[in-house]
Amino acid sequence: MLSSKTSRQKALLALAWVCFFWGTTWIASKVGVTNMPAIQLCAIRQLLGGSVYLLYFIITKHPWPKGKQWGVILVLSFLNFMLSNGLSTWGVQYISSGLGAIIGAIFPLWIVIITLFGGGRLPQKALLGMVMGFGGVCIIFYDHLKDFLNADFSFGIVLSVIATISWAFGTVYTKKHAVNFNPYFSLGLQMLISSVALYTVSYSTGNTVSIAAIPANAWWAILYLVVIGSVLTFIAFIYSLQRLPTSLASLYAYTNPIVAVLLGVIIFNEKLNIYVAVGGAVTIAGVYLVNDSFKRRT
């Protein structure tokens, strides 16, 4: 009984870690992209993060994927890391980290739309959640209407939205093509494959700086993203997910944007007004309704 209580307490602490620190990665990304090209930053982050995972499984002599499993890894590498992670990081070069985090939180709404096109049925609660989610985004953008005249701002929004759509497709693809080997090994391989592709794109388009020219601030941001974002927080998430109800473990999805918005205000003096506050709250509530309706249905 005592052991079970202790395990739950540790899981709650792990969840608290996830709720806060995954939100801070948006700030780290913002720091990084203000000091170096965004795609190059992603390439270096994924190279280092993927190497940590891969080194562990090589040392433990874990079996490598075979045959069609490589096809799944390549697709997920493209959807989850080349597009989703790469474009969302690139996006915060042009928009605030808080706005990027709120846009990133709407990916479950795209999953619902993908499900509908696949012939799935939509619960009424999920429909209400979708309306609220997109309505909340409209409230936020109401205060940014004049900003859309700025080409850089519009470009950042487009990048961030495409990133969420890609993540949604990656999530659906993962469910349909589950592989029979360790998902962490797959994660490491996806990171390494995408790092090569992203660096190739960055180098061929001239959007790179020499390693020696990368400033200390950018290196600290990369180190933070690798150690905190890609390794420690992911481990904490899996730990909490295995020991807590899914509905509780998914709490991070609603707290991360709040953390990102508040830290963006404190660190970068990003704008926080009634439109961002109310719109963000409505969006997150809508995403919650969508998630909750499908969990209950399942």
130 close to 283: Cβ distance less than 8 angstroms: no
Give the range with max mean pLDDT: 96-100, 105-109, 121-125, 189-193.
189-193
Domain membership flag for residue 40: yes
pLDDT at 120: 62
Number of H helices and E strands in the chain, helices first, is: 14, 0
45 close to 104: Cβ distance less than 8 angstroms: no
Domain membership flag for residue 144: yes
Average pLDDT over residues 62-68: 85
Domain membership flag for residue 251: yes
- Global pTM exceeds 0.95: no
Domain membership flag for residue 19: yes
101 close to 22: Cβ distance less than 8 angstroms: no
Residue 128 sits in which domain range?
11-297
Query: What confidence tier does 133 reach under pLDDT thresholds 50, 70, 90?
Result: confident
Domain membership flag for residue 4: no
Domain membership flag for residue 135: yes
Query: What confidence tier does 121 reach under pLDDT thresholds 50, 70, 90?
Result: low
What's the total number of domains in the chain?
A: 1
Domain membership flag for residue 167: yes
Domain membership flag for residue 292: yes
Q: Which of 12, 75, 85 is nearest to 44 (CA)?
A: 85
Query: What confidence tier does 249 reach under pLDDT thresholds 50, 70, 90?
Result: low
